[in-house]
């Protein structure tokens, strides 16, 4: 069963504060519990059971979250592609429908630009 977003948010709030790190410097060395999360092959020492539950639930939820993210992005891209062009003066027009359509387009455009900027920042950190 996929955990609800609320369940994941509560686990995330209760777990060790982010960011977590994965360090594999000496495989087979007995894990040392500390300030960071370490992975040694199959052995995953966690600071708490909450951390362990969060890791498992997050991985289990990831396919559905990624699928949802894809659907939402596609919806925003469709809005940006087809909205905001009710009349030729839609950018300055005060028709309620034109303003609403342009506002929807602007929300989609701003959100997609923000997502792209976040993705580029994440890519640069890697
Ligand atoms: Zn108009």
Q: Output the pTM of the full model.
A: 0.60
DSSP 50-113: HHHHHHHHHHHHHHHHHHHHHHHHHHHHHHHHHSS-SSTTTTT---HHHHHHHHHHHHHHHHHH
Residue 84 · residue 101 · CB < 8 Å: yes
Give pLDDT tens digits for 39-78. Answer: 444 445 566 667 767 777 887 788 888 889 899 999 999 9
Among 116, 107, 123, 118, smallest CA distance to 75 is for: 107
Give pLDDT tens digits for 75-107. Answer: 999 999 987 777 888 778 888 888 888 888 899
Distance 83 CA to ligand 1 centre (A): 12
Among 60, 44, 54, 62, smallest CA distance to 16 is for: 54
Distance 104 CA to ligand 1 centre (A): 14
Distance 98 CA to ligand 1 centre (A): 5
**CA distance linking residue 24 with residue 44, whole number of Å:** 11
Distance 56 CA to ligand 1 centre (A): 51
Distance 79 CA to ligand 1 centre (A): 17
Distance 71 CA to ligand 1 centre (A): 29
């Amino acid at each position: 069963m996929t955990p609800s977003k609320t369940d994941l948010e509560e686990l995330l709030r209760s777990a060790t504060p982010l960011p977590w790190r994965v360090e594999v410097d000496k495989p087979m060395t007995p894990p040392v519990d500390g300030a960071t999360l370490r992975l040694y092959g199959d052995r995953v020492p966690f600071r708490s059971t909450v951390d362990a539950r969060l890791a498992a639930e997050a991985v289990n939820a990831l396919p559905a979250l990624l699928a949802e993210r894809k659907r939402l992005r596609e919806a925003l891209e469709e809005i940006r592609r087809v909205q905001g062009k009710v009349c030729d003066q839609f950018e300055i027009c005060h028709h309620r429908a034109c303003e609403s359509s342009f506002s929807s387009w602007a929300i989609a455009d701003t959100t997609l630009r923000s997502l792209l900027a976040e993705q580029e920042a994440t890519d640069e950190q890697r």
